Structure 1
Amino acid sequence: MSHTRELFDAEPVKPAILRKVIALPPTEAKIVLHFLSAKKTAEGTVLQSGMAIAKEIGMNRSQYARKIKDVLAAGWVEQAAKEQNIAYYRLGPEAGATDNATVIPLRRRAS
């Protein structure tokens, strides 16, 4: 996937948020910590597929697919965009995200 969007380093995480994360089940905590520390677009979207995230955090794809649903339901992340069958996420209100700007749809560039 090739995007020309500028990615920004993660913001520092508040200690209160980290305390909540470490209380999560280990697989969910891994996912949330990834989203907290990942580079994001100006809108807060992490431009990685679930398969790429799963590989990076040491999970298989099916385990990630099951656990991301729990993380979504708990409000740690929320879907920011969807391109074909790939969903992209950003931090949700449980992770302290308070200003989720309007999402600009992701588009592929012609090769």
Structure 2
Amino acid sequence: MAYDEGLAQLMRDDLAGQDGISEKKMFGGLCFLLHGYMVCGVHAGGGMFRVGKPREAEALAIKGAAPLSFTGRPMGGMVEVTDEALADDPRRAQWIALALTNAASLPLK
């Protein structure tokens, strides 16, 4: 099942003014990267954000988020969100801000 292109466009628009953003198909969906580090993505059924472990609790406190667990085991520092939550502009903006903060904190590749 393919990801929702409308949700991908929302993320694309949110990140449009950010230098260093690229797109890459991965995890059966589309991911957005900052200087090569994953920030967020969209997949069938929702989206994901790499917020980092220091910001994970804050991201999970936002309604619609859950620990990301593609393999059945939670992936630390990653949150998954529902389609409905991803479509909500204020919540998506919060997750994107947390994820951009995480990516910007990582060493340049």
User: TM-score scaled to structure 1, two decimals?
Assistant: 0.31
The structure with more strand, counted as a fraction of residues: 2
